[in-house]
Chain A
Amino acid sequence: MRTTRVDLVGLTKHYGSAHPVEDFSLTIEPGRVTALLGPSGSGKTTLLKMIAGVLQPTSGDIRFDGESVLDLPAPERDAPMVFHNALLFPHLTVEDNVGFGLRMRKTPPTERSRRVAEMLELVSLQDLGTRRPDQLSGGQQQRVALARALVIAPRLLLLDEPLANLDPDLRGEMRELLLTVQRSLGLTILLVTHDQEDAIVIADQVALIRSGSLVQEGVPRDFFERPASAWVATFFGAANLIQGERTKSEVVTPLGRLRVMSESPAMGPVLVTIRPEAVVLDAVEGQANTFQGRVIAAEFRGTHIRIQLTAGGVDLEAAIPVDDAKGHAVGDTVRVALPPDKLWSLPAKEKRPLRPTPRS
């Protein structure tokens, strides 16, 4: 299969007064999975459709391997979309659905049926080739849709919420299938999702989009440990956001002076954040960023114990291992440490004004 590097350059789409995509730039690395993550209505699907060629951008450029494809019509881009509702053609059998793209390319019937059979085997549906789409389960339909896109040896595979309509069991299966297929074929995949779990499990690279603009891009871990803004931190479920005033590597907070990662952005009014797993209870002498706290709640969560703390009028959340020897009970006073290499600061104020974007 061919892999393609995709550059989105200042991509913009306006419909009248609605601006679903605004000045969006991103590089999609060849042979990797990039997730376009964002809440519904953030312009993800509009972006995907522009890359596929079924929507024209208002301005900006889309380049495949450095060459602009704006003048290349959708049928010639070799960038098939897989929609969340599979969109199998109901009047065609599974085989004919999968073979659709080859038929459009006038591939000889013998080669067509060979490649269709290969793809059906890849998605483990070799026995269902003669079925009609309405005789398949939702998960099977989604796999047929995937095979139908793969059979044309795409330069780029565009997935629009491919897991959204699936049961939890099937989601896991489909994720595995996507990863297996991607690895064995070395595909370039752009995946659109509103589900951060899908994004972090499947993708090598995540681009977070909000109101049509890129908010942050990076490896999945970055979004948890180094969020670019309070919105990003909240989107990824950050529990601890502490207000403070930063000078150099120190932030003055109600919890005292806290040292933060020196590479974290923003000066002046900031929010300080730390993952609950990184919060240390029962700090030892000599640890930095320590203070007294009181346990106000402790909940067993199966994989960990979630502890609610209060300190200096600030609520904090910590997650500690289930087999933690000290049974922290409500009312206990503990010595808390926030390790400086896990403490991240981000600007307290949003840089960009919020724009209403009614379309997705």
Chain B
Amino acid sequence: MWSTRAWGIVLATDSATWKALGWSIAVATAVTALSLLVAVPAGRVLGLRSFRGKRALEFLVLTPLLVPAVAVAIGLDITFIRLGLSGTFWGVVLVHLIPAAPYAVLVLAGVFANYDADFEAQARTLGAGPLSVFRHVTMPAIMPGLIVAGFFAFIVSWSQYVLTLQIGGGKVLTLPVLLVSTASGGDVAITGALTIVYALPVVILLGVASRHVVRAGWGTTGT
């Protein structure tokens, strides 16, 4: 029988869904912002400069993706408890950066590898200070890369379960955490409805970001 019973429960104004959605959006947004904050300078150095040990450094950036998240989280938990970060919003954001930031760094390193820094020299000789150069030259040039890198960071954070549970300790109740506990409750219809709530924002974001994946940034083509 087709019914909207599950939707009624999931979308009820007092349901846990809205709170979890709020947590997820807040955490993923903060993770995205911080990832980009790290990735723009890091990607710039990795993409533009050549130096001894660059390959090793690139590998080091990737290592968080090679080590299982649980292994990291259990070790970090103790430190986070000591620092008072356990069970807090910022604790969860910080731990999400471990898998999220490397993706953002890699994307931007690729963008900067094809970036012509002479555009910045040009702007400076025309009178642009450091902030103006970033705002009027660098940022428009790397915008597609920023969008893709931000999208990756957002998705990685959005889909974290183990790390959120470990560090959040059930206090930071994001959508995946709610989803797993609902699924173990056994109501297939409610789980299904919640899954759609969980997946929909990502699908929409993907639609927006994919248009930028195919379009290269202007500073990267050497016009």
A residues at B contact (CB < 8 Å): 49, 52-54, 73-81, 83, 85, 87-91, 100-101, 104-105, 133-134, 148-149, 152, 158
Contacts and interface: CB of A to CB of B under 8 A. Distances in A.
B127 A104 contact: yes
A307 B223 CA distance: 46
B140 interface: yes
B128 A75 contact: yes
A80 B127 CA distance: 8
A75 B123 CA distance: 8
Contact of A54 (B121, B129, B218, B223): B121
A83 B124 contact: no
A152 B116 CA distance: 24
A158 B125 contact: yes
Contacts of A90: 218-219, 223
Which has the most chain B C-beta neighbours within 10 Å: A52, A76, A89, A158? A89
A133 B118 CA distance: 17
A172 to B, nearest CB: 24
Contact of B116 (A49, A75, A87, A133): A87
A100 B126 contact: yes
B223 A52 contact: no
B222 interface: yes
Interface residues of B, number: 20
A91 B124 CA distance: 17
B121 A81 contact: yes
Interface string B63-82: 00000000000000000000
27 contacts: A52-B125, A54-B121, A73-B124, A74-B125, A75-B124, A75-B125, A75-B126, A77-B125, A80-B126, A81-B121, A83-B118, A85-B118, A85-B223, A87-B116, A87-B223, A89-B119, A89-B137, A90-B218, A90-B219, A100-B123, A100-B128, A101-B126, A104-B129, A104-B132, A105-B127, A133-B223, A134-B223
Nearest to A75: B127
Contacts of B137: 89
B136 interface: yes
Given A85-B223, A89-B119, A54 B126 contact: no
A53 to B, nearest CB: 7
A148 B222 CA distance: 19
B159 to A, nearest CB: 33
B122 interface: yes
Given A89-B136, A90-B218, A134-B223, A83 B127 contact: no
A75 B130 CA distance: 9
A73 B126 CA distance: 11
Interface string B198-223: 00000000000000000000110011
Contacts of B116: 87
Given A87-B116, A87-B119, A89-B137, A74 B124 contact: yes
A240 B132 CA distance: 55
Contacts of A49: 121
Given A85-B223, A152-B127, 19 more contacts: A52-B125, A54-B121, A74-B125, A75-B126, A75-B128, A75-B129, A77-B125, A79-B125, A81-B121, A88-B223, A89-B136, A89-B140, A91-B218, A100-B128, A100-B136, A104-B123, A104-B132, A149-B125, A149-B126
A104 B124 CA distance: 10
Contacts, number: 71
Contacts of A158: 125
Identify the interface centre among B121, B127, B140, B219: most chain A CB within 10 Å of its CB.
B127
Given A87-B119, A91-B140, A134-B223, A81 B125 contact: yes
Nearest to A133: B223
A81 B116 CA distance: 15
Contact of B124 (A54, A88, A149, A152): A54
B26 to A, nearest CB: 32
A343 B129 CA distance: 54
A194 B127 CA distance: 28
Nearest to A158: B125
Given A91-B218, A104-B128, A83 B223 contact: no
A89 B116 CA distance: 12
A87 B219 CA distance: 9
Contacts of B125: 52-54, 74-75, 77, 79-81, 149, 158
A90 B122 CA distance: 13
Given A85-B223, A90-B218, A101 B121 contact: no
Contacts of A134: 223
A101 B223 contact: no
B122 A81 contact: yes
Contacts of B218: 90-91
Contacts of A91: 140, 218
A149 B124 CA distance: 11
A355 to B, nearest CB: 22
Given A104-B132, A133-B223, A134-B223, A87 B122 contact: yes
Most chain B beta-carbon neighbours within 10 Å: one of A49, A52, A100, A149: A100
A148 B223 contact: no
9 smallest CB-CB distances across A and B, nearest first, come from A104-B127, A90-B218, A101-B126, A74-B124, A54-B121, A80-B125, A87-B122, A91-B140, A75-B127
A43 B123 CA distance: 22
